[in-house]
A and B are shown apart, each in its own frame.
Chain A
Amino acid sequence: MEQTTSANGRNTASPDPGYWTSVLIVSGIFSIAGFAINIIFGYVQIASEPGGTVFSPMMLGSVVVCLATCLGGLAAVWHVTRYITPRMKLGRGALIGFLTGAMIVLFSTLLNELWVIFDPGYTERLLDSVVENVEAMDLPADTQDQMIDQMAAGVRDTSVFQQLVVGIPVTGLLNLLTGMLGVRFFAVKEEDYTE
């Protein structure tokens, strides 16, 4: 591996495909954490009385998970710069971000599919609870119908392939952007190096 020295005296190596380790570690952690949060908030939703609030436990869980999901690229770039090499070009950060987003979608989809095998009635009970909550809201009937349709579509069965095809582009792109932000925050500037 080619060794270079930065202007601030740090010994570094040229980037290599070792970033896959960071992609897999970060996407694995984010997927498992996101899945766990969703499941916990899901069961809290099932156990709670319909309060008629817009932000139900399930909705709060999904907001937390969506925010965390978008920061996967940033975390993966941090991991690479911390444990593999502090030197990284913007394009490499973008690639790492995109791959992290794609892997998060893949792992999350598989974990959700596995949970349905473990607790087959979970989806149905969650949907019933969410519908009861929406019906308790002080909203016009057509808005309630739209919300119920939206939430039902969210838990309705779709194939793993479909979930990946529609999920990867958006999550991948958002993580691509946070991956570039990661380069900006954590990587040593290219001009700080003497080749």
Chain B
Amino acid sequence: MQYRALYFTVLGGLIFLVAASLGNGIADRPLDYSDWTYRAFRGVCHQLPERSFHIDGVPMAVNARCFGIFSGLLAGWLLIPVASARLFRQGWPGILLGCAVAVNVMDFSAGNLWVWNSSNFSRFFLGAFLGVGVVCMLADRFIKTTNKTD
């Protein structure tokens, strides 16, 4: 694998991201939006309680779509070391990422225009799709190819 230090740095960051996004419920603490876990995500997520999963009755620190994105990023990132470079050679990661962005934009827009009402689970899975799409775009740079001359 190439860029080992970068890979493990990002891995650590993603584990932190997913763990922190679980909010206070996972630590059996009451909801307090002034806690650091909630403040940390304020700039990147609307954190609406009705659009977030709850753990033990306490909303997570991010909404379902953001949690899906972070989970997809982490799941995809964990699979990079066991993936083959040939998987990412055909240009399909770009198509996958484009589709993931498009369906998320459509779902978000349609939800807010009351065309349809997504559930938290559908938002989570669409977000995860986007997270995995981002990792697929980056994966081949981390996988060492045998025919590469350094």
| Interface size bracket, B side | 35 or more
In the bound complex, how far is the Cα of B40 from the Cα of A176, in angstroms?
16
Q: Given that A66-B46, A91-B6, A184-B138 are known contacts, is A173 also in contact with B38, CB under 8 Å in the complex?
A: no
CB of B39 within 8 A of chain A? yes
Task: Chain B residues near A191: list those with CB within 8 A.
Answer: 148-149
A75 lies within 8 A of chain B by Cβ: no
Per CB-CB distance, the 3 closest pairs between chain A and chain B, nearest first, are A153-B33, A146-B49, A173-B13
Cβ contacts under 8 Å, A170 to chain B: 17, 20, 40-41, 43-44
17 A–B contacts from the bound complex (CB under 8 Å): A54-B48, A54-B50, A63-B46, A66-B43, A90-B3, A91-B6, A149-B33, A152-B33, A153-B38, A153-B39, A166-B36, A167-B40, A173-B14, A173-B16, A173-B17, A177-B73, A180-B141
> Which residues in B have their C-beta under 8 angstroms from that of A154?
33, 42
Taken residue by residue from 131 to 146, chain B's Cβ proximity to chain A (1 for < 8 Å, 0 otherwise) reads as 0001001100110000
Residues of A within 8 A of B (CB): 54-55, 59, 62-63, 66, 69-70, 90-91, 94, 105, 108, 139, 143, 146-147, 149-150, 152-154, 156, 158, 162-163, 166-167, 169-171, 173-174, 176-177, 180-181, 183-184, 191
If A147-B49, A150-B33, A173-B13 touch, whether A180 touches B138 (CB-CB below 8 Å) is yes
Q: Is the interface of A mostly helix, strand, loop or mixed?
A: helix
Q: CA separation between A123 and B131, bound complex, in Å?
A: 34
Residues of chain A lying within 8 A (CB to CB) of residue B90: none
Contact call A143/B43, Cβ cutoff below 8 A: no
Output the least CB separation between B131 and chain A (Å): 10
Is A143 touching B49 in the complex (CB atoms < 8 A)? yes
In the assembled complex, the Cα of A150 lies from the Cα of B48 at a distance in Å of 8
B79 at the A interface (CB under 8 A)? no
SS class, residues of chain B in contact with chain A? helix
Please measure, in the bound complex, the distance between the C-alpha atom of A66 and the C-alpha atom of B28, giving whole angstroms.
29
Q: Which of A94, A158, A171 contacts B44 (CB 8 A)?
A: A171
**Min CB–CB distance B61 → chain A (angstroms):** 10
Residues of chain B contacted by A163 (CB below 8 angstroms) = 39
Asked if residues A59 and B46 are in contact (CB atoms below 8 Å), the reply is yes
B141 lies within 8 A of A90 (CB): yes
B95 to chain A, nearest CB (A): 14
Give the CA-CA distance A191 to B141 in the complex, in Å: 12
A154-B33, A167-B40, A183-B141 given; 15 more Cβ-contact pairs under 8 Å:
A54-B50, A90-B142, A143-B50, A150-B33, A150-B38, A150-B48, A153-B33, A156-B34, A167-B39, A170-B41, A170-B44, A176-B13, A181-B138, A184-B137, A184-B141
Query: Contact between B134 and A169 (Cβ–Cβ < 8 Å)?
Result: no
Pick from B5, B16, B138, B142: contact of A169, CB below 8 A.
Answer: B16
In the bound complex, how far is the Cα of B36 from the Cα of A147, in angstroms? 17
Say yes or no: B59 contacts A146, CB within 8 Å.
yes
Interface-central residue, A66, A91, A146, A149, by most chain B CB under 10 Å: A146
* CB-based nearest B residue for A151: B33
